Each structure stands twice: as structure tokens, then as C-alpha cells.
Chains A and B, each alone.
Chain A
Amino acid sequence: SAVISQKPSRDICQRGTSLTIQCQVDSQVTMMFWYRQQPGQSLTLIATANQGSEATYESGFVIDKFPISRPNLTFSTLTVSNMSPEDSSIYLCSARDRGSGANVLTFGAGSRLTVL
């Protein structure tokens, strides 16, 4: 299965600043996704990163706050803009990977952001 690398793995950020998280997959994948996991919570899909076009955002998430790029089939970035303490979360990159003959999600280790 695909191996997904994210960086930074963690960061402490000041309120009002922006941070870009990078996600690199070791093979070409059709679909890439960004999830948020707030402390002690489950995973919530932020958006689908589309190669060559604008990302598709889920309800409650907007491009101005979470701009996403996907320049090719192996790389994507998520920016968390104008951060506030409520943005303190783990941000997870995932890719749809073929396993057991069907599509399953593979995840990176996550980027843990703490906003002061």
C-alpha cells in the first residue's frame, strides 16, 4: 500500500498566522483527502484534493480558511489560515489506495498543530 509522509509532524503556532502542511505519497494515487481530528475526537473530512482543479470542500469548511493545492498525483498541501486556538488539531492527509481489490484509505501520521 501507499506510504504517506507529512510535514511538519507537529508545530506550535501563534494566533493569526498561517501554516502550510505538506503531504507526499510514494506512488501516484487517484484521490487525496485532508481530515481534521480535534483533541479526543474522530476524523472529520475537510476536503478532497483534486489534481489540477480546485478542492472540493465539505460543509463547514471553506477555501479561504483551508486553501489546498494538488499540483500532481503524489503531492498536496493544506494551509490553515489566520489560525486561532480552535484550530488546534491533528491534520491528516490520506489517499485512496487499492487494497484487497477495492479502494481503501491510507493515512499519513498526521500534523499536530497547537495554536497559542
Chain B
Amino acid sequence: GQQLNQSPQSMFIQEGEDVSMNCTSSSIFNTWLWYKQDPGEGPVLLIALYKAGELTSNGRLTAQFGITRKDSFLNISASIPSDVGIYFCAGQKTSYDKVIFGPGTSLSVIP
């Protein structure tokens, strides 16, 4: 079945550092989504990508839709303590398909 892989699985960084994480798939997706989940909360959408090659920013976050349609990455610049959480990538083949979630990247920020 469809499967997404995320790397790294977890990361510990110093406050102020930049962060990069990525997501790969064996299948082509036409939509890539990045979510963040805080403890005790549901995932919250950070960025949605709809076109191959698209680069989209949301504040300190930047995400790109890979040209092959099989990958995406998320960058966080100048990390702060509230960036701590689990970041999930998700892919969708069409607007009416189910959304498949990756295993997540756990981010810890050391003040």
C-alpha cells in the first residue's frame, strides 16, 4: 500500500538553529501537506502544497513540493522553544482520495 517515510525520526537542536526535515513516497501525490501536533492536541495544518516545484512559506516555515511528486521538505528557520512537537507530512493523490500520513519527525528545541 501507499507509504510515506519521514527523516529524521527525531532531532534535538539548539534554539536559533535552522531545521530541515523531509518526506518521501514510493507513489506520486498531487497534494502534500505538513502538519504539527502538540502534546494533547490534534494535528494543525502548517502548509499545503498543490503543484510540483511549488515553494511556499508560512512565517519561519518553508515547504517545497518535489519535482518528482514523490517528496517534500519542510524547513524551519531560527527555531524557538514553541517549535517543539511532532511534524507530520501527508500526501493525497486527488482531492477526493484519503490523506496518508507519514510516521512523523519529533522536534526538540533546547533553549
Interface contact B45-A106, CB-CB below 8 Å: yes
Q: Is the interface of B mostly helix, strand, loop or mixed?
A: loop
Interface contact B42-A110, CB-CB below 8 Å: yes
Q: Is the interface of A mostly helix, strand, loop or mixed?
A: strand
Tell me, yes or no, whether A8 is within 8 Å of chain B by CB: no
Complex: A44 Cα to B103 Cα, angstroms: 10
Chain A interface: which of B59-67, B74-82, B94-102?
Answer: B94-102
Tell me, yes or no, whether A99 is within 8 Å of chain B by CB: yes
Band of interface residues on A? 20 to 34
Interface contact A48-B44, CB-CB below 8 Å: no
Tell me, yes or no, whether A45 is within 8 Å of chain B by CB: yes
Tell me, yes or no, whether A13 is within 8 Å of chain B by CB: no
B76 to chain A, nearest CB (A): 20
Given contacts A48-B98, A107-B42, A110-B41, contact A99 B104 (CB under 8 A): no
B83 to chain A, nearest CB (A): 19
Please indicate the chain A residues that have their CB under 8 angstroms from the CB of B102 in the complex.
42
Binding site for B on A (CB under 8 A): 4, 33, 41-45, 48, 58-59, 92, 94, 99-100, 102-110, 112
For the A-B complex with A4-B42, A43-B88 known, give 18 more contacts whose Cβ atoms are closer than 8 Å: A42-B104, A43-B101, A59-B1, A92-B42, A94-B42, A99-B45, A100-B48, A102-B31, A102-B50, A102-B95, A104-B33, A105-B90, A105-B99, A108-B42, A109-B40, A110-B40, A110-B42, A112-B40
Binding site for A on B (CB under 8 A): 1, 31, 33, 40-45, 48, 50, 88, 90, 95, 98-99, 101-104
List the 4 shortest-distance A-B pairs measured between CB atoms, nearest first. A107-B42, A43-B101, A42-B103, A42-B101
